[in-house]
Amino acid sequence: MNDADKVIIVEGRTDKVQIQKVIDEKIEIICTNGTLGVERLEELLIEYDLDNKDVFILVDEDSAGHKLRKQLSIELPHAEHIYVDKTFREVAATPEAELAAALLSRSIAVDPLYL
């Protein structure tokens, strides 16, 4: 079980790796691996106690990302959204400095090296 108070939900492993590079605090990063079924989403809610944590949604700026963001917004109305610039489209393709600035804007500690 995880004791981090913050959770970032991303689509894939490459997104997770990119974010882990720039953050400088204990945060659980959950990969959805694309769209979520209702059962899987329920499992995540319980497993990570998402109703009682600061949840951030950071997904790709493409149709699959928009669909997932919409789905997560319904299930997690308290979640905050973090967006990457549409020109990069994918979280994994977003330069570290851009990603760090986006995370910092939501009060997530980042390694100053990337600012």
CATH number at 58 reads 3.40.1360.10
Per-residue pLDDT, 2: 54
Instruction: Say which amino acid occupies 6.
Output: K
Q: Which domain holds residue 96?
A: 6-107
Place of tokens 């979520």: 36
Q: Which two tokens stand for residue 62?
A: 């493409």
pLDDT beyond 80 at 3: no
In a domain, 85, yes or no: yes
In a domain, 112, yes or no: no
Within a domain: residue 65?
A: yes
In a domain, 13, yes or no: yes
Q: Are 28 and 8 in contact (CB under 8 A)?
A: yes
For the chain, what is the mean pLDDT?
A: 94
Q: Does pLDDT of 35 surpass 90?
A: no
Question: Is the predicted pLDDT of residue 89 greater than 80, yes or no?
Answer: yes
CA quadruple 46, 103, 114, 94: dihedral, nearest 10? 90
The total domain count for the chain is 1
pLDDT over 90 at 78, yes or no: yes
Cβ contact 91:69 at 8 Å: no
Residue 113 lies in a domain: no
pLDDT surpasses 60 at 111: yes
In a domain, 115, yes or no: no
Contact 45, 71 (CB under 8 A): no
Distances (CA, A) of 28 to 43, 56, 67, 87: 15, 10, 22, 27
Q: CA distances (Å), 67 to each of 36, 70, 71, 83, 92, in order?
A: 10, 5, 6, 14, 18
Instruction: Look at 27-36, 42-51, 65-74 and tell me which has the smallest mean pLDDT.
Output: 27-36
pLDDT digits (tens, 9 = 90+) for 54-64: 999 999 999 99
114, part of any domain? no
